[in-house]
Amino acid sequence: MNSGEKLFGRLLNRQSPPPQVAPDTLSVPSVGLQVHLDGEGRVLHLTGPLRHTLAPQRLSTQAPPLLDYLMPHSSLVIEGIPADWQGQILDLDFHSVNGHPLHLRGWVLPLADNWLLQLLDISDVLVERRQSCRREQNQLLAARISEQLRLCSLTRLPDVLQEQLQVLAQRFHIPCIAVALLDEQEQGWQIHQYYAAFDAPMLWQNGQRLGSGLDSLNGSFPQHLTRGEHPRLQETFGHAEGLAVPYYDAHGVATWLLCGFYTAQQRAPELNDGDWLQLTAALASPLLERLREHRHHLQLERLASLQALLGTGWWEVFSDSAEMQLAPSLASSLNLASPRLTLGEWLDHVHPADREELRSRLHALEDAGTPLLLCVRWHCEQAPVWYRLQGQAIGMGKNRRLVGFMLDISDIKNQEQNAATAHARLDNLIASSPAVIYVQRYVEGALLPTFFSASLLPLLSLTLADCTAGALIERVHPEDREHYFERTRRLLREGTVRARYRLRDSHGEYHWLLDEAKVLRDDLGLPVEAVGLWLDVTEATLATEQVKQSEERYRILVEDSPAMICRYRPDLTLTFGNRPLATYLECQPDQLPGVNLGHWMSDDQRQAFVLRLSQLTPQAPVSTAEIYLQLPGREHAWWVWSDRGVFDAEGRLLEVQAVGRDNTEVRRSQQQLTQSAKMATLGEMATGLAHEINQPLNVMRMAIVNVLKRLNNGDVQIDYLKDKLNRIDSQVQRAARVVDHMRVFGRRSDIEQQPFNPADAIEGTLSLLAEGMRGKGVELRIGEIGFAVQVRGFIDQLEQVLINLMVNARDALLSKREADREFNPWIALYAERDERCVRIWVEDNGGGIDPRLMEKIFEPFFTTKPVGIGTGLGLSVSYGIIENMEGRLSVRNSVQGALFCIELPVVPVDQITSAGRPE
- How much is the pLDDT for 338? 83
Each residue of 586-596: b (16+ CB within 10 Å) or e? Answer: eeebeebeebe
- How much is the pLDDT for 727? 67
| Nearest CA-CA partner of 169 in 290, 287, 283 | 283
C-alpha to C-alpha distance for 228 and 239, rounded to whole angstroms: 9
Ranges of H-type helices in 343-477? 343-348, 352-368, 410-418, 456-460, 469-475
Q: For 235-239, 674-678, 875-879, 887-891, which range has the lowest pLDDT when averaged over its residues?
A: 674-678
β-partners of residue 197 are: none
Q: For 353-370, what is each residue's pLDDT tens digit? A: 888 888 888 888 888 888
Q: Are 350 and 324 in contact (CB under 8 A)?
A: no
13 versus 292: the higher-pLDDT residue is 292
- How much is the pLDDT for 842? 92
Q: Is residue 92 pLDDT above 80, yes or no?
A: yes
C-alpha to C-alpha distance for 397 and 288, rounded to whole angstroms: 38
Q: Is residue 210 pLDDT above 60, yes or no?
A: yes
311 versus 721: the higher-pLDDT residue is 721
- How much is the pLDDT for 76? 66
One-letter amino acid for residue 651 of the chain: G
Percent of the chain with pLDDT over 70: 77
Q: Is residue 223 pLDDT above 60, yes or no?
A: no
- How much is the pLDDT for 826? 92
Q: What is the mean pLDDT of residues 361-387?
A: 82
All domains of the chain, ordered by start, with CATH? 3-121 (3.30.450), 128-297 (3.30.450.40), 311-417 (3.30.450.20), 420-547 (3.30.450.20), 561-662 (3.30.450.20), 721-911 (3.30.565.10)
Q: What is the mean pLDDT of residues 627-638?
A: 70
pLDDT band at 692 (very low <50, low <70, confident <90, very high): low
49 versus 395: the higher-pLDDT residue is 49
Q: Are 645 and 621 in contact (CB under 8 A)?
A: yes
Q: Is residue 612 pLDDT above 80, yes or no?
A: yes
How far are the Cα atoms of 3, 578, 801 from residue 675, in angstroms, in the given order? Answer: 31, 36, 12
Q: Is residue 429 pLDDT above 80, yes or no?
A: no
Q: What is the mean pLDDT of residues 625-653?
A: 80
Q: What is the mean pLDDT of residues 372-400?
A: 80
C-alpha to C-alpha distance for 353 and 234, rounded to whole angstroms: 73
- How much is the pLDDT for 633? 61
- How much is the pLDDT for 308? 64
426 versus 217: the higher-pLDDT residue is 217
Sign of the dihedral defined by the CA atoms of residues 70, 76, 79, 82, in that order: negative
**Within a 10 A sphere around the Cβ of 155, how many other Cβ atoms?**
8
Residue 613, CA atoms < 13 Å, CB-side half-sphere: 24
C-alpha to C-alpha distance for 244 and 600, rounded to whole angstroms: 46
Q: For 812-861, what is each residue's pLDDT tens digit? A: 888 888 888 888 899 999 888 888 899 999 999 988 888 877 777 777 65
Q: Are 30 and 47 in contact (CB under 8 A)?
A: yes
The distance of Cα 270 from the centroid of its chain, to the nearest Å, equals: 33
Q: Are 483 and 501 in contact (CB under 8 A)?
A: yes
One-letter amino acid for residue 216 of the chain: S
Phi-psi region of 651 (alpha: psi -120 to 50; beta: other; left: phi over 0): left
Q: What is the mean pLDDT of residues 26-30?
A: 52
Pairing of strands 791-793, 754-756: antiparallel
Q: Are 809 and 825 in contact (CB under 8 A)?
A: no
- How much is the pLDDT for 1? 42
C-alpha to C-alpha distance for 795 and 763, rounded to whole angstroms: 11
The distance of Cα 556 from the centroid of its chain, to the nearest Å, equals: 31
Pairing of strands 446-452, 436-443: antiparallel
Q: Name the CA dihedral angle for 370, 376, 378, 382, rounded to a multiple of 10 degrees.
A: 180
β-partners of residue 510 are: 504
Q: What are phi and psi of 218, to 5 degrees?
A: -60, -45
- How much is the pLDDT for 294? 84
614 Cβ partners below 8 Å, 6+ apart? none
User: Which of the listed ranges 199-203, 757-761, 827-831, 882-886 does the model predict with the highest average pLDDT?
Assistant: 827-831
Q: Are 839 and 899 in contact (CB under 8 A)?
A: no
| Nearest CA-CA partner of 3 in 747, 739, 766 | 739
269 versus 51: the higher-pLDDT residue is 51
- How much is the pLDDT for 424? 40
pLDDT band at 88 (very low <50, low <70, confident <90, very high): confident
- How much is the pLDDT for 30? 60
pLDDT band at 250 (very low <50, low <70, confident <90, very high): confident
323 versus 700: the higher-pLDDT residue is 323
Q: For 285-339, what is each residue's pLDDT tens digit? A: 898 888 888 888 877 777 766 666 666 778 888 877 778 888 877 787 788 888 8
128 versus 148: the higher-pLDDT residue is 148
Q: Is residue 677 pLDDT above 70, yes or no?
A: no
β-partners of residue 438 are: 452, 532
Q: What is the mean pLDDT of residues 504-516?
A: 88
Q: What is the mean pLDDT of residues 381-399?
A: 78
| Mean pLDDT of the residues in the chain | 77
Q: Is residue 903 pLDDT above 90, yes or no?
A: yes
- How much is the pLDDT for 856? 74
pLDDT band at 5 (very low <50, low <70, confident <90, very high): very low
Pairing of strands 189-196, 574-577: unpaired
Q: For 134-156, what is each residue's pLDDT tens digit? A: 778 888 888 898 898 888 888 88
Percent of the chain with pLDDT over 90: 4
Phi-psi region of 45 (alpha: psi -120 to 50; beta: other; left: phi over 0): beta
User: Which of the listed ranges 273-287, 536-550, 552-566 does the model predict with the highest average pLDDT?
Assistant: 273-287
Q: Please report the beta strands in 683-736, taking only residues with DSSP state E, as ranges in sequence order.
A: none
pLDDT band at 16 (very low <50, low <70, confident <90, very high): very low
Q: What is the mean pLDDT of residues 257-266?
A: 81
- How much is the pLDDT for 916? 37
Q: At what angle do helices 718-746 and 664-684 cross, to 10 degrees?
A: 140
| Nearest CA-CA partner of 204 in 248, 244, 163, 263 | 244
pLDDT band at 496 (very low <50, low <70, confident <90, very high): very high
- How much is the pLDDT for 919? 37
User: How open is the CA angle 853-858-861, to the nearest 5 degrees?
Assistant: 90
Q: For 161-195, what is each residue's pLDDT tens digit? A: 999 999 888 888 888 999 988 877 777 888 888 89
Sign of the dihedral defined by the CA atoms of residues 677, 680, 686, 687, in that order: negative
- How much is the pLDDT for 868? 44
C-alpha to C-alpha distance for 712 and 723, rounded to whole angstroms: 18
